[in-house]
Amino acid sequence: MAIRVLCVEDNPQNMRLVRKILFSAGYELLEAQDGTSGLAAIRAHKPDLVLMDVNLPDIDGLEVTKQIKADPSIAAIPVLALTANAMHGDRDRCLAAGCDGYVPKPITKTELLNTIAFFVKKSERNHA
């Protein structure tokens, strides 16, 4: 069964890039364009991992992450911040909000796939 990844991203070009990378690696991709629909998709589909843009048009991605981590039914799902916020302290801010990992934009295929693989394997070990 394919690993299911939800990408919450409002930029169509970024979503297209993530789609291309994940499909080529055999992942199943779910998509959401804002925090509200992303949170609904997480609750409905319980993906194996979430790629969360931080700067979303409705609810900030870090606030969505806080809501995920506060809900016991979905709190164990790894959330990776996928963000252009790459200044000093941004990684720490994302991790403090509950993100399990951090992938700065512009993303590279290798970094994204390696980071996803790391967290999927870690999650599988935690559930074994």
Q: How many domains is the chain partitioned into structurally?
A: 1
Query: Percent of the chain beyond pLDDT 90?
Result: 82
pLDDT band at 89 (very low <50, low <70, confident <90, very high): confident
> Can you give the pLDDT at residue 2?
86
The predicted-structure confidence for 33-62, as pLDDT tens digits, reads as follows: 999 999 999 999 999 999 999 999 999 999
CA distances from 109 to 15, 69, 96 (A): 13, 27, 26
> Can you give the pLDDT at residue 54?
93
Cis omega (within 30 of 0) on the bond before 106? yes
CATH number at residue 83: 3.40.50.2300
pLDDT band at 110 (very low <50, low <70, confident <90, very high): very high
> Can you give the pLDDT at residue 83?
84
CA distances from 99 to 12, 16, 23, 119, 120 (A): 23, 23, 23, 12, 14
**Enclosing domain of residue 62:** 4-127
Is 70 exceeded by the pLDDT of residue 19?
Answer: yes
> Can you give the pLDDT at residue 121?
86
Strand order in the sheet with 101-104: 28-32, 4-8, 49-53, 79-83, 101-104
- The structure tokens listed for 22 are 């994940």
Q: How far apart are CA 82 and CA 53, in angstroms?
A: 5
